[in-house]
A and B are shown apart, each in its own frame.
Chain A
Amino acid sequence: MKPLMLEGLSKRFGSQQALEKLTLAVRPGEITGFVGGNGAGKTTAMRIGVGVLEPDEGRVLWGDAPVTRAETERFGYMPEERGLYPKMTVARQLTYLGELHGLSRAEARDAMVRWTERLRITQHRDKRVATLSLGNQQRVQLAAALVHDPDVLLLDEPFSGLDPLAVDDMSEVLRTKAEQGVPVLFSSHQLDLVEQLCDRVAIVRAGRLAACGTHQELRPADSRGQVYVEIDGAGGDWPADCAAAAAHRAHEQGVLVDLAAGRTENDLLAQAARHGTIRQMRRHEPSLAELFRDLVEPADDPPTDRGEPDAPASDPARTSDLDKVSA
């Protein structure tokens, strides 16, 4: 399997710049989460990736060569705005879409049977899509993206509106496809799900890639010495007189402490114990939601400064090297 590369994509709609030189690699065998605020450019990037839109600048590569129309047949796409023919039956719809993706009638029919079984919608095959519940329509939509056994998967908000069981089914399918070597890119606002499911995360802001990498790579270097401490009866400023604490801030029910240079958790523990009963003390690993907020809505810097394309890229820990991917 080959990686999918979005290379220097720019797209403008009237006065609005939807994408500006967005570069992103989706590696084979990996699930890449695509996150960003509303209007950040995720949908536009995915539409360009699958060939629904043409970029003003940039190109889409599959492996080393630009994607052709014939090759996009091998892509599976689930748009953010779900869409199927409401009066067509599930079976006929999936067979038709399979044929459009290059399968013969018999192959498309077999694939329809396989995927309706896999996604547990067998009993709905002969029903019109409009008569199904929203959750089952979502399952049909996923089957439509998978019916031709695609070599690349681009899914725009695939988890929105799904019940927990359907989320499990969808997650399982994505993991299986990734294990088969398929590059999977999906966008979502459910960051806990992205964190749990994705091998890599790409964060987009104002049409530009703000960060991309594994969860570990995305963590800022200064967060690696942070310790969360919760003490019964202590005020929020107790670390102020601790030599082991370089800085601190309130977090959840306790305090997040930056260890001073040369100090360890043991030093902090000893000093913290003087302020009361320690209920909790652990290394703090910022969640994806925190990283996302930090990158998309930084507390200190105005958004315009942080929005510069080179700013996040200047931190090597926050982005991966595209050359490594294509290699």
Chain B
Amino acid sequence: MKRPGSRQHTLRPTRVRLVYTRELRARMCTRGYVVGLALLSLVTFGLVMGFSMLGGTGDSTVAVCGAPAESTGTAPPGIRVTSCDGMTDGRKLVENKDADAAVVVTGNRATLLSRADTGDQAKAGAEALATSWAGHQALLRQDVDLQRLERDTAAAELTTVTVGKSVGTLQLGAAATLIIVLFTQIVNQGSVIAQGVVEEKSTRVVEVLLATLTPLELLMGKVAGIITAGMVQVATMLGAVVCGQALVSDTSTELPGAQALVVTVLWFLLTFALFASLYAAAGSLVSRPEDLQGVLTPVMLLALAPVGTATAAATDLSASWISVVQYIPPFSGLLMPLKASVGTANLPEQLIAAALLLAATVCCITLAARIYSNSVLRVGAPVRWRQALAA
């Protein structure tokens, strides 16, 4: 006759909160964590600023010499036009790298000056300006009313319409990067969870705790505390990225909107709960931190598989295989927020995938609680997964 199961499976919120608070304090109220957080935000901010300065080379400069700047028409995107007097001036500007290229007008002819290291953008810009000047001159020679030409051209009301379901590369890339960075945290924080479990097991404090807590209470409080500490790191990193972008660019960012971010975080938490329980179960199988790697490898591979899948999916979200894999846990945990963040996942699709992921998460937590309670008091050689399940 067994004792009523309530002794092992009770879940009391007060106890979970106490474990959660202790774990959070143990993780966050340390000099290492605070210094790490400050360094992380500074490094992230610095990287954003640095990349922006290195990658965003700014406009190319093309000097127009011997003709008014207006005669070359509107400057192409990324080209800044300056004026100069003639061939000598133009040559000097280009040689001294004050301009990337120059268009020098002498009589009815235009000459294009560039250096060997002049970029393609500057060359193309200079060519476009020279062509525009030549066209402008030809129209004048043919007595065309240029103002009327301009009015008639404007009357066509050129508009741009985007058709089809394809997603902008930049938008998709930003969403995929954000989600992959976020979900890589599962592997990082998962390892922290496993280490925390081994620490409690190796210091034997777990037996004192289990005398008053159920394994589920201890597991939930601990995992929630570590997730929170990890999320604070992620939020700090994101904040540094957003601040950095806001400072270096006045154009709108390509990061997903607030609603998409909330949806992504919800998917992340659901998937994290699934993997966190598995990481905790894996941690309970060993008694020494040095034995951890062996039991963590299968869980880590399982956690990285969705990240790889999301990376592959980011190249073409409309691929047929995604319409099936997007429902399969744990892949759905990354594919759905990725699709949702660029607006290609509808609500029913998300709800079905979320229900399946939730069911898988509940199964994993139940399984992990069983493995945890069966192996957390066994010291010595690592316990096998099968032994822990069968005990």
Contacts and interface: CB of A to CB of B under 8 A. Distances in A.
Interface string B359-378: 00000000000000000010
Nearest to A86: B203
B6 A97 contact: no
Nearest to A56: B2
A68 B208 contact: no
B180 interface: no
Given A66-B3, A68-B4, A100-B18, A81 B211 contact: no
Contact of A69 (B19, B203, B214, B387): B214
| Residue among A66, A99, A100 having the largest count of chain B Cβ atoms under 10 Å | A100
Interface stretch (B7-15, B77-85, B289-297): B7-15
B209 interface: yes
Contacts of A99: 18
A54 interface: yes
B293 to A, nearest CB: 23
B2 A69 contact: no
A300 to B, nearest CB: 36
B50 to A, nearest CB: 37
Contacts of A221: none
Nearest to A79: B207
Interface in A207-266: none
A186 to B, nearest CB: 15
A76 to B, nearest CB: 9
Interface string A55-99: 111111000001111101101010101111111100000001101
B134 to A, nearest CB: 77
A51 B1 contact: no
Nearest to A88: B26
Interface residues of A, number: 39
A60 B18 contact: no
B323 to A, nearest CB: 45
A53 interface: yes
B22 interface: yes
Given A83-B205, A86-B203, A99-B18, A72 B4 contact: no
A81 B204 contact: yes
Contact of B204 (A59, A77, A83, A88): A83
Contact of A81 (B10, B18, B207, B214): B207
A59 B1 CA distance: 7
A126 to B, nearest CB: 15
B206 interface: yes
A144 interface: yes
A207 to B, nearest CB: 17
Contacts of A66: 3-4
A51 B204 contact: no
Contacts of A299: none
A251 B4 CA distance: 51
B7 A58 contact: no
B389 interface: no
Given A79-B207, A81-B379, A84-B205, A101 B212 contact: yes
B167 interface: no
A271 to B, nearest CB: 59
Interface in B164-208: 203-208
Contacts of A13: 391
B204 A79 contact: yes
B377 A69 contact: no
Contacts of A58: 1, 3
A317 B388 CA distance: 43
A51 B6 CA distance: 10
Contacts of A146: none
A222 to B, nearest CB: 38
B7 A51 contact: yes
A206 interface: no
Nearest to A99: B18
| Residue among A67, A79, A82, A87 having the largest count of chain B Cβ atoms under 10 Å | A79
A68 B2 CA distance: 13
A100 B15 contact: yes
B286 interface: no
Contacts of A84: 203, 205, 208
B212 A59 contact: no
B7 A68 contact: yes
Contacts of A86: 203
A200 interface: no
A85 B205 contact: yes
B7 A83 contact: no
B3 A50 contact: no
Nearest to A52: B210
Contacts of B15: 100
Contacts of A56: 2
A42 interface: no
Contacts of B211: 50-52, 72, 75, 77, 79
Given A69-B6, A69-B214, A72-B211, A85 B377 contact: no
B215 to A, nearest CB: 10
Interface string B197-238: 000000111111111111000000000000000000000000
6 contacts: A14-B391, A54-B3, A54-B7, A58-B3, A66-B3, A83-B207
Given A14-B391, A75-B211, 20 more contacts: A51-B7, A52-B211, A52-B377, A54-B3, A54-B5, A54-B8, A55-B3, A57-B1, A69-B6, A69-B7, A72-B7, A79-B207, A81-B207, A82-B204, A83-B203, A83-B208, A85-B205, A97-B208, A99-B18, A100-B18
3 closest A-B pairs by beta carbon, nearest first, are A83-B204, A83-B205, A77-B211
Interface of B: 1-8, 10, 15, 18-19, 22, 26, 203-214, 377, 379, 387, 391
